Structure 1
Amino acid sequence: MYETSSLSDRTDIMLESFTIGSFEIPSMYVALAAAFLISYMMIWNSEEKKHLFSHWLNAAIILFLIYKFSYIIFNWNAFIGEPLSVFYYNGGQPGLLMGMIVMFIYMAYRSNSLFYAESYSIFSVAFITLYGVFELRLITQPPYIIMAVASLAALIAIYFTWNRFRAILMVFITLFIAQMVIRFFIFNGESILALTLMQWWILGSIFYVLLTTEKGMRDENGPQLP
């Protein structure tokens, strides 16, 4: 097993930052913004994109609010002693995990067509690709280098298989399972209960895409699986 467990806390939520003048931008935010842009460009001609991004915006707001105000739940005594502290602190990793769970529940409830699953698959592969590339600034073990290259290849493959959801779904599932396995052995070893937040996000993404795909296939008026 590779000795990188000491890095897990540092890379679990936020990687190094890019410095632009006097500003520091966390590389995770850069990866998220770039993945959003990539997915937006790929579904540019879709008539459903306005509904999709409204749906994603609501999900992001839910995630942020729960992450922020779960501080009250996990730090009740401190909040009672100083109520204004809620504006300066957040729920930490437990709050972020709670937010992600509620976010995926909301997204699964609102998503009812293959378009949602396809768009999220594109966004997820783009994000995990960029995240993996930025992660190499801190972690240079061979499995991570291989996964970064494989993720980039997967993103390119999705670009050339646009509107072929069966192929996109297979690329997404294969890549995310491989990511889960490699991250498990590097960060967790034999412990399955100590998953990092990125691993929880990967699991949530897999379940969300599979559930949304199943809902889309059951919708008689929805698109057929190409």
Structure 2
Amino acid sequence: MAGSLVAYLASLRYAAPLHLAAPAEPATYGLGVRWTDPLLIACAIVPAVLFALARRDAGGRARIGCLGWLLRLGTLWAGANVMAYPAGVLMYLGTAELSRHPEAWLVTAASPFAALAMAWWFRPAFPPLRVPYLLLRAHGDHADVLKITSQDKTRLDSHIHLPLEKWHRVLDKESWLELRVTPLAYGNFYNLRGLCRYGVWRDARKRSLPARERPGTGARTR
């Protein structure tokens, strides 16, 4: 009995070593790019472009539901991952780790496009240009306004001077009102500065505005 046990242990010593199976890797194509990498790039770019187009068509006020918010979070997660690849490539440049992940170069090449898509999507959220306007009338998706500029337009008949001493509660510098009606989407308004002075409103009506506009109707500056 003891001899049989010794022989069994000796056979285990020279037995073939045990091999553990590694988990299966996703299928790769061509230069070692996995199918998950193009999917990550698409998730970072395509939804961002669609959201940007929807927001533009809605005049900057696109509404989304719960599923839309989940899609936004997924798009932001994918975009953050794609745009982080260039930094990772720089960190591992010249190492064996980078040579084992050729897909990093593909995602790095796509990262500028993901950044542009994200920038286009969020461009209304960037700090707006502090350009005041005189609000004339409201429509379904936009308002008609007159632009106010701080550039000296004294010699031009197409502008009305707004002296700072009379407009200091609304404006912070010498300004001129351009007598050209401009349509402006509601998403571009950010605050209400105050009411237009009656004299300027009367002068603007006489020089450029339709006669049906009444004094004080929508005459507000932002």
Query: Which TM bucket (shorter chain)?
Result: under 0.3
Q: Which has the higher strand share?
A: 2
Higher RCO (Cα < 8 Å, 6 or more apart): 1
Which structure has the larger Rg over C-alpha atoms?
A: 2
Q: TM-score, normalised by structure 2?
A: 0.26
Q: Which has the higher helix share?
A: 1
Q: TM-score, normalised by structure 1?
A: 0.26
